[in-house]
Homo-oligomer: A and B are copies of this chain.
Amino acid sequence: LQKIAFIVSYDGTNYYGFQRQSELPTIQSELERALSEIAQEPIAVVGSGRTDAGVHAYGQVVHFQTRLKIPAEKWPLAIKNYLPEDIVVRAAYQVKSQFHARYDAVGKIYQYRIDRGLVPNVFQRRYAYHVPYPIDLNLIGQAIPYLEGTHDFTAFCASGSAVENHVRTIYRIGMREEEEQLLFTFHGNGFLYNMVRIMVGTLIAVGNGKIPAEEIPRILASKDRNLAGPTAPAHGLTLMKVEYPMSIFA
């Protein structure tokens, strides 16, 4: 039995998120269907984590086990015609039998894309949140350092999450402009449910003066979801990369 890890890219627009749900199209179900067709037996995949309905991925990581002897580097092309065109396996690696896509992940990088044009860019309409009103990037720049570091992010977590420990470390929040777009990157050791989207909604609220940058420490300390900003829409968010220790390769 071989254990294989895939780096998977998907346009989440037409899916009900990563995780399998009976009857509904999800990324996990599409991958499992494709693999099971190739292997002629049921294959289950485990992802590094869920992504919500409408969220995209450039570098989601999944693992599975198979009796098939396909060399790892042949997998991206072998599976290509079994998958819809909005899900692509970018790379595949043979990993150690104990590798686990979720438990072994030590870091994740998300990108959130905002379109600041007067009217939306048609080519980015599925991948960027259109914010045509003024936002002050200096104010956002003042708020970012308060979110970086190790904090209890309960105030930045959607209620209903089953996770008990809400302490996470954000190594870095990057902000850069690319023509009319504003790109945020969030690099952390893990993220709670809706955490990136709530941080983005809060940073936008800071940028348009609704939340003072210096309020962020108090919002974190309050652990009150109602004090943070709104949840930014799913379609601006992309899981860029999942990080693992080098020792995972077989």
Mark A residues whose CB is within 8 Å of B: 9-11, 56, 58, 76-77, 80, 85-90, 117-123, 125, 127
Contacts and interface: CB of A to CB of B under 8 A. Distances in A.
Given A9-B121, A88-B120, 17 more contacts: A9-B123, A11-B123, A56-B122, A56-B123, A58-B123, A76-B118, A77-B118, A77-B119, A85-B120, A85-B125, A86-B122, A86-B125, A87-B122, A88-B121, A89-B119, A90-B118, A123-B127
A71 to B, nearest CB: 14
A15 to B, nearest CB: 12
Contacts of A80: 119
Nearest to A84: B122
8 contacts: A11-B123, A76-B118, A76-B119, A85-B120, A85-B125, A88-B120, A89-B119, A90-B117
Contacts of A9: 121-123
A145 to B, nearest CB: 30
B127 A88 contact: no
A118 B122 CA distance: 26
A20 B119 CA distance: 24
A127 B88 CA distance: 16
A88 B123 CA distance: 10
Nearest to A56: B123
A85 B11 contact: no
Contacts of A89: 119
A121 B117 CA distance: 25
Contact of A119 (B90, B117, B118, B121): B90
Contacts of A125: 11, 85-86
A32 to B, nearest CB: 19
Nearest to A124: B123
